[in-house]
Amino acid sequence: SMANAPEDDVPSRYSRTERTTYSRYSRDANSSGSSLPSNTLEKRIEELERELAKERQENARLMKMAQDKEELIGKLKEEIDLLNR
């Protein structure tokens, strides 16, 4: 059933790349009659989940850096305003 689902039906928490990858693996598993052993697929899923966790951690780190920089920019603008007065 998942093999025929359009990308929009896959939960929105996945990025387009992840949805495409997920759909492809799902389709391959369904259409091939499970030619890959389930433990191979489970290992691949675990590997992808670890990779996703790392990417999310990196994303959170970058977002924090961006917020910190925005705060610093705001403080420096205030300081410049004070100096100009």
Q: Is residue 72 part of a domain?
A: yes
Range of the domain at 63: 38-84
Phi, psi dihedral angles at 36 (to 5 degrees)? -90, 140
Contact between 27 and 6 (Cβ < 8 Å)? no
Q: Is residue 61 part of a domain?
A: yes
Contact between 3 and 31 (Cβ < 8 Å)? yes
Q: What is the pTM of this model?
A: 0.50
**Structural domains of the chain, count:** 1
26 pLDDT more than 90? no
32 pLDDT more than 50? yes
Q: Is residue 57 part of a domain?
A: yes
pLDDT at 73: 98
- Residue 44 to residues 15, 38, 39, 49, 63, Cα–Cα distance (Å): 18, 10, 8, 9, 28
Share of the chain above pLDDT 70, in %: 59
Q: Is residue 12 part of a domain?
A: no
Q: Is residue 43 part of a domain?
A: yes
41-73 pLDDT, tens digit each:
999 999 999 999 999 999 999 999 999 999 999
Q: Is residue 55 part of a domain?
A: yes
